[in-house]
Amino acid sequence: MSPAEESKPSRGLLGRYRAIIGQGAWVFVGQVSTGILTLAGTRLITQFVNPELYGLVNLVQNALVLLRTLFCSPTINAGLRYYPDAERGHFVSGLRAAMRRSLGMSLIAMEIIAVGGGLIWTWQNGAPAALVAWLALFVVADVSRTFELSLFNAARRQRPAAILGAAETLIRPVLVVGAVLAFGPRIEVVFAALALSIVLTLVVLFTGFRLAGGDVGGNLPPQVALDMRRYAIPLVPIAFMTWVTSVSDRYLIEWLSHDTASVGVYAAGYGLVSQPFLLLHGVVALTLRPAYFAAVSRADGTQAKRIFGTWLVLSALACSSTAAVIFLARNLIVAAFLGPQFHSAVAYVPWIALGYLFYVVEQVLEQHLLAHKRTLAVLLSQTCGAVASLGVTIPLVAKFGALGAAFACPVYFSIQCLVVAALLSRPRG
């Protein structure tokens, strides 16, 4: 199916579902390939990288993710929501151009913070100045990759998104391990490999695929630009709250225990357990979210309700089964997919699996709020999750160390899920 055909409204219920299933097939291939390659890559990296370096890289990388989340995610999420409107109004290229301008300004601010923070960190810790250059390249490449893949998904062009995602996941661990073996296990070496893996993916993207929305339609109407800004503003604090809920536990472990190796083991176990849930959520969300947002955008309440119900039931059933399998096979899973120095992560597995069951359900419910432009409600739910995360994780980490962070995971994710469910039951405003 060509991009032009994908953008046309399907005729009849059967036609709509045939299009969704066709897109879902590519999503499934991409997500499964990416998931398998991620697990294999984790096994390879943890075989050659020690827990202390793994933890240090994870802390720095998540700090850069915070910058992207704060400065860029609101613009990208607004673009995802308004893409169906742009298709119907024939101003997709205008939407793309507006998003690029906004992200360009955000990128300048991100680079100033990343380079400044990198210089301070290298001065305090005696790291080579080359690390700062690799961090700067990583930031630019990461934002560019996220922007392009998000637009491919919004345009329902799942095939290039699947190919590019799998390609990067294949390249990354090979470059990291090769660089470590060639130049030694140092943080600047790892970040050089991470940055170059994204750059190579972008080369494939720009040379092998027509970009989503690059030449479709006219300028962005001023009223839509204003609506997008209003939609995006509450997403800035939402982005910070999401980051606090998702990754602040690593920093709490480092702060309270001063044990970077424990951070590495915890991060490896967390990434291993969360991957199947993110894969399942990604398959269903990337398939159904564009169709759901489009149905809400054209005020087709019956179709929107049907898609959302299917989305929620599939996600809940798939993740419940996954949590049960992970709990029963946790020793085998950790032994197979983590290096010997990381096997103590088996203690964290059941708690993180239970937490991610609640996380995926919460994410699906949250998409309902975003589709109906209830960003303030999302801000409230994310704030409750962030507060619960800090309030529960700090005392548990102080008492149990990294295991306490795992204990806390299902508690704060379940609280956030309950808050979103309560907000859905209340009328807007």
In a shared domain, residues 254 and 382: yes
Domain that holds residue 170: 1-226
Nearest Cα residue to 221 out of 356, 78, 91, 62: 91
| H helix or E strand, kind and range, residue 324 | helix 301-328
The pLDDT score that the predictor gives to residue 216 is 61
- Is 253 in contact with 401 (CB distance < 8 Å)? yes
Averaged pLDDT of the chain:
86
CA distance 171 to 40: 12
- What is residue 354's predicted lDDT score, i.e. its pLDDT? 95
User: Are residues 80 and 59 both part of a single domain?
Assistant: yes
Residues in the chain: 429
| Strand, coil or helix: 91 | coil
| Rounded Cα distance, 345 and 342, in Å | 6
Are residue 282 and residue 216 in the same domain, yes or no?
Answer: no
Same domain, 360 and 321: yes
Last residue of a domain, one of 178, 193, 226: 226
* 411 touches 393 (CB < 8 A): no
Q: What is the pLDDT of residues 378-404, one digit of tens each?
A: 889 999 999 999 999 999 999 999 999
Domain boundary among 204, 226, 248: 226
Residue after which a domain boundary falls, among 210, 226, 242: 226
Does pLDDT of 214 surpass 70?
A: no
Q: What value does the mean pLDDT take over residues 4-22? A: 51
pLDDT at 116 over 80: yes
Better-scored residue on pLDDT, 256 or 429 = 256
Do 74 and 140 share a structural domain?
A: yes
Those residues with Cβ within 8 angstroms of residue 329's Cβ, 6 or more apart along the chain or in another chain: none
Is the domain of 130 the same as that of 37? yes
Task: Please check whether residues 143 and 112 belong to one and the same domain.
Answer: yes
What is the per-residue pLDDT for 262? Answer: 94
- Categorise residue 361: left if φ over 0, alpha if ψ from -120 to 50, beta otherwise: alpha
Q: Examine the domain organization and report whether 257 and 287 are in the same domain.
A: yes
| Position 234 pLDDT exceeds 90 | no
Closest CA relative to residue 382, chosen from 352, 359, 356? 359
Percentage with pLDDT > 70 across the chain: 91
For 21, the token pair is 């299933």
Total structural domains within the chain: 2
- CA dist 103 and 75 (Å) reads 7
**Weakest mean pLDDT among 165-174, 285-294, 360-369:** 285-294
**Does 9 have pLDDT greater than 50?**
no
- 242 and 306: one domain? yes
Structure tokens at 281: 């959520």
Mean pLDDT of 105-131: 84
Q: Are residues 295 and 169 in the same domain?
A: no
pLDDT at 408: 96
Q: Does the pLDDT at position 2 exceed 80?
A: no
Neighbours of 425 (CB within 10 A): 7
Note whether 152 and 171 are same-domain residues: yes
* CA torsion through residues 203, 101, 98, 149, sign: positive
pLDDT at 305 over 60: yes
What mean pLDDT is predicted for residues 110-130? 83
Residues 168 and 250 placed together within one structural domain of the fold: no
Which of 79-93, 149-163, 197-211, 392-406 is least confident? 149-163
Please compute the mean of the pLDDT values over residues 269-274 and round it to a whole number: 93
| pLDDT at residue 6 is higher than 60 | no
Residue 22's pLDDT band (boundaries 50, 70, 90)? low
